[in-house]
């Protein structure tokens, strides 16, 4: 393999818990929400699927169904979908729903998997091209920079910047082109078989990891090094 493409959420990084997400926003806004109200709100937000990168919605409201389907194709649609889900949950201040969305785009909301830096560094040292291909509605580059991983990434191909989303093979083709790599010599690493498996249509090899909390997946990326060899 001369290049490896990685998904973002659930592959290289894991978003914080719903409780941590809500607590950080309440603290920043200086809005108290004592137990048991806090616990109920966090549980309801999780069930609603309001945290991007977190649990999927247990149910998508009818009025959000259309925007949910295209949420990764533009920044506006992404925000509308997730704040719409958040607003299914009553909170002390209506402004908290936008604040929650804004919080999830900050580097503090994301933790690299324990072996992410080692794997990216090793691939980079071997001269293997590295790309990130993500279904997302915002610019994740600052997250990589803040965690010291941007130095290893040769290209970012983000759905909202192209108006299409995985499994559309055009996203993977764009990443391969940016890296000057023949797709048949490229490995795609992700956590969603349907979305990330779209790279196989180009002839890329595909490897899946489990979307687990960061402390429960200490070495899920290390097999990539053997696959590249």
Task: Quote the pLDDT of residue 164.
Answer: 97
Confidence bin at 130 (pLDDT 50/70/90): very high
Confidence bin at 152 (pLDDT 50/70/90):
very high
Which of 74, 108, 142 is the C-terminal boundary of a domain? 108
Percent of the chain with pLDDT over 70: 100
Total domains in the chain come to 2
Q: What is the CATH number of the domain that holds 154?
A: 3.40.50.1000
Q: What is the mean pLDDT of residues 136-140?
A: 98
Are 80 and 140 part of one and the same domain?
Answer: no
Residues 206, 193: Cα–Cα separation, whole Å: 9
User: 176 exposed, middle or buried (CB, 10 Å; 0-12, 13-18, 19+)?
Assistant: buried
Does the pTM of the predicted model rise above 0.75? yes
15, 4, 42, 3: which is closest to 212 by C-alpha?
A: 15
Q: Is 187 strand, coil or helix? A: strand
Q: Which domain holds residue 50?
A: 15-108
Whether 1 shows a pLDDT value over 80: the answer reads no
* pLDDT at 82 (0 to 100): 98
| 57 and 75 fall within a common domain | yes
> Are 104 and 141 found together in one domain?
no
**Which residues, 6+ apart, have CB-to-CB distance to 9 below 8 Å?**
15, 52, 53, 134, 136, 191, 211
Tell me: pLDDT of 126 over 80.
yes
pLDDT in tens, 157-170: 999 999 999 999 99
């Amino acid at each position: 393999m001369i290049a490896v493409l990685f998904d973002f959420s659930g592959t290289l990084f894991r978003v914080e818990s719903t409780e941590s997400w809500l607590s950080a926003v309440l603290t920043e806004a200086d809005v108290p929400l004592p137990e048991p109200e806090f616990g109920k709100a966090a549980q309801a937000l999780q069930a609603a699927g309001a945290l991007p990168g977190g649990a999927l919605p247990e149910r998508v409201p009818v009025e959000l169904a259309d925007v949910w389907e295209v949420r990764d194709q533009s920044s506006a649609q992404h925000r509308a979908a997730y704040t719409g889900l958040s607003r299914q949950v009553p909170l002390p201040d209506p402004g908290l729903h936008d604040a929650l969305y804004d919080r999830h785009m900050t580097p503090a909301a994301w933790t690299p998997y324990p072996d992410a830096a080692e794997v990216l560094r090793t691939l980079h040292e071997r001269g293997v091209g590295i790309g990130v291909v993500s279904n997302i509605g915002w610019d994740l580059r600052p997250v990589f920079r803040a965690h010291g991983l941007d130095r290893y990434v040769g290209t970012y191909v983000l759905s909202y910047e192209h108006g299409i989303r995985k499994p559309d093979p055009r996203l993977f083709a764009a990443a391969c082109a940016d890296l000057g790599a023949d797709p048949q010599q490229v490995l795609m690493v992700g956590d969603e078989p349907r979305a990330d498996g779209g790279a196989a249509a180009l002839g890329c090899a595909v490897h899946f990891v489990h979307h687990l909390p960061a402390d429960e997946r200490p070495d899920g990326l290390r097999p990539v090094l053997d696959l590249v060899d």
